[in-house]
């Protein structure tokens, strides 16, 4: 199994390599790809140094699987080239997510839709993944009508530049800014660029991607995405209106029994999800479960996940595992 990681020197790329090792993913040859300025550098994997190569050299090697995490422009240009060469591409950018000819996959929910003809597979937005992980079992049983979500997103979701900005501000250092405002001791209601309707691209991803993953346009989502000064982990306050009623005991039992979900929901012991608990873990954590007393059939949830793991790298690796286990690649 020849595997390529495109964007191996980036934040998500580094986590992908860590997860591939942790999960003992079977690799006979590993290709690490980065921008021209990084070509020739070495990265350790499995205790052995691997030379970083360019995209053209990787393409010529015809890997079985290529996991892309190098931005939309690179994915739009190079993913079709790899696919044409017979490689199955798992793309972590937003480039292919809403393309009707490409599947948007969260393995626990819809990996069974994948076939050998799917040569470019889209990895959803980090905030979307944790949202649908929690909502999918509830939607299946109670059928969602409307979702309102507000996110509290870590600076790591923006990248190294944003993490450095936060660290500089904490230390009182003037440096390069990833955001138009200071992030330390602040909350910025601005994730990604604004669209004509006044929502940001991040907010519209949250509105559209769950419908595609769940293959259902019968529910609607309204989102507000906020950047906060945490180093890792995204949190979401979620209000869901269902067509059918529920009991809180049923909801808790259903979530507890769902693979990939950890229930943390006991106000008596101050047990609820937080980024410090989700750090370096692959599960999605759900708590603060309570009925919305202002609206029938409505529920409030608090959802937290490590955005670099299940929100990006782990989900991509899980897709690769499914492809291999089911002889799709």
DSSP string, 12-54: HHHHHHHHHHHTT---SEEEEE--GGGTT-EEEETTEEEEEE-
| Active-site pick, 26, 50, 126, 139 | 126
Ramachandran area for residue 7 (φ above 0: left; ψ -120 to 50: alpha; else beta)? left
Which residues lie across from 150 on neighbouring strands?
224, 237
- Give me 93's structure tokens: 């950018």
**Could you say which of 234, 244, 256, 279 is catalytic?**
234
The whole-angstrom distance between residue 142's C-alpha and the CA centroid of its chain comes to 25
Select from 222, 238, 218, 219 the least CA-distant residue to 305. Answer: 238
In angstroms, what CA-CA distances link 13 with 82, 158, 164?
18, 14, 18
**26 counts as catalytic:** no
Instruction: Assess contact for 280 and 306: CB atoms under 8 A.
Output: yes
Q: Which two tokens stand for residue 224?
A: 């507000």
Task: Judge whether 126 counts as a catalytic residue.
Answer: yes
Q: Give me the active site residues, please.
A: 126, 234
């Amino acid at each position: 199994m020849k595997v390529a990681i495109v964007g191996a020197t980036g934040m998500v790329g580094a986590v992908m390599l860590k997860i591939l090792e942790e999960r003992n993913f079977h690799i006979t040859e590993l290709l690490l790809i980065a921008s021209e300025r990084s070509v020739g550098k070495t990265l350790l994997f499995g205790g052995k140094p691997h030379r970083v190569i360019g995209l053209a050299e990787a393409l010529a090697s015809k890997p079985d699987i290529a996991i892309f995490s190098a931005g939309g422009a690179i994915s739009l240009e190079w993913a079709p080239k790899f696919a044409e060469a017979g490689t199955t591409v798992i793309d972590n950018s937003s480039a292919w997510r809403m393309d009707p000819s490409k599947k948007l996959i969260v393995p626990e929910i819809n990996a069974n839709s994948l076939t050998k003809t799917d040569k470019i597979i889209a990895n959803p937005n980090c905030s979307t993944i944790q949202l649908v992980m929690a909502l999918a079992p509830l939607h299946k049983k109670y059928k969602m009508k409307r979702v309102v979500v507000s996110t509290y997103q870590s600076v790591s979701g923006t990248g190294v530049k944003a993490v450095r900005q936060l660290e500089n501000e904490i230390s009182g250092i003037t440096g390069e800014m990833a955001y138009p405002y200071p992030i330390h001791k602040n909350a910025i209601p601005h994730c990604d660029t604004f669209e004509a309707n006044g929502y940001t691209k991040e907010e519209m991803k949250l509105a559209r991607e769950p419908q595609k993953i769940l293959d259902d346009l019968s529910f609607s989502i309204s989102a507000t995405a906020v950047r906060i000064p945490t180093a890792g982990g995204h949190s979401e306050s979620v209000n869901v209106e269902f067509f059918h009623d529920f009991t809180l005991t049923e909801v808790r039992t259903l979530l507890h029994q769902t693979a990939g979900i950890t229930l943390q929901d006991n106000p008596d012991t101050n047990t609820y999800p937080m980024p410090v608990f989700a750090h370096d873990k692959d599960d999605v954590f759900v708590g603060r479960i309570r009925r919305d007393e202002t609206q029938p059939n409505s529920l409030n949830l608090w959802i937290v996940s490590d955005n670099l793991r299940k929100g990006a790298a782990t989900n991509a690796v899980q897709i690769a595992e499914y492809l291999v286990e089911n002889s799709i690649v």
